Amino acid sequence: MTAAYATLVTGPDYALGALALARSLRRVGAAAPLVVLHRGSVQGMEDLEREGCLLREVAPLPLSDTFRARHGREAQHAAAPFTRGTKPAFHDPLDNFCKLRLWELESYRRVVFLDADTVVLRNIDRLLTYPEGAAAPNLYESLDDFHRMNSGVFTAEPSRRTLDAMLERLDQPGAFWRRTDQTFLEAWWPDWHGLPFTYNTLQYVYFNLPQLWQWSRIQVLHYQYEKPWQQEHPKRALLGPLIEVWWRLLEGRPLPDHLPPGGPA
């Protein structure tokens, strides 16, 4: 196998998310395995292995103490607060940088990375042949968002040499990556190859940009900010139908044939 899908699991909540992702890939007949990068022993990994995922334990990146201090949850959220949505308590910004470990998967020629809070609605195997640095825009509030990259879905060509170069640039004195791995990868790929937003449709498009919501064309749905498995979901009234989509995929139930947009928030 020369290509793979990959995701990152840093705790039991993201293990549950990855399980829904794995089942969504199986549902659309994905031609490549899902490699799960995980931090140590995490509850739920057995379920992922039974689902056919390939587990790869990874260590934290060798980052300086000052870098860790700047990007810890409290410091990062204070310096770059989230004003459009809320991150759940289990979200740790430092964990996001472990995503770069996928460049160690040198047994694969190409990897399509998918965040553990995404699900695949239609087959995306064509991305397995795309060049490195293909990603979709960070579109969720207005058309101005098209110029920013979202790192929830992207293509990579694993290389330890690339990872070493990334680490050297990542942990420069005083460096602060406002949106962690996303800001870094956008800087790493200043001319990133733009995918249609349907390859990484952020859930807020559903109610912020209803004119762009086309259920029949969405390939990947990304639950940025609030997660569909949260018991106390602050936007349940706005995102209820999308929360139901996620649970249907986790439980193996059919998806709706039609899902109209939610309208303005």
Is residue 186 over pLDDT 80? yes
Q: Which region among 176-180, 185-189, 191-195 has the lowest average model confidence (pLDDT)?
A: 176-180
The CATH homologous superfamily for domain 3-198 is Spore Coat Polysaccharide Biosynthesis Protein SpsA; Chain A (3.90.550.10)
Mean pLDDT of 86-109: 88
Q: What is the pLDDT of residues 231-246, one digit of tens each?
A: 999 999 999 999 999 9
Mean pLDDT of 175-187: 93
**Where does the pLDDT of residue 71 fall: very low under 50, low under 70, confident under 90, or very high at 90 and above?**
confident
Residue type, 216: S
Question: Considering the entire predicted model, what is its pTM?
Answer: 0.94
**Where does the pLDDT of residue 41 fall: very low under 50, low under 70, confident under 90, or very high at 90 and above?**
confident
Mean pLDDT of 111-129: 98
**Where does the pLDDT of residue 1 fall: very low under 50, low under 70, confident under 90, or very high at 90 and above?**
low
Q: CB count, 10 Å around CB of 254?
A: 8
**89: nearest Cα among 235, 239, 231, 236:** 231
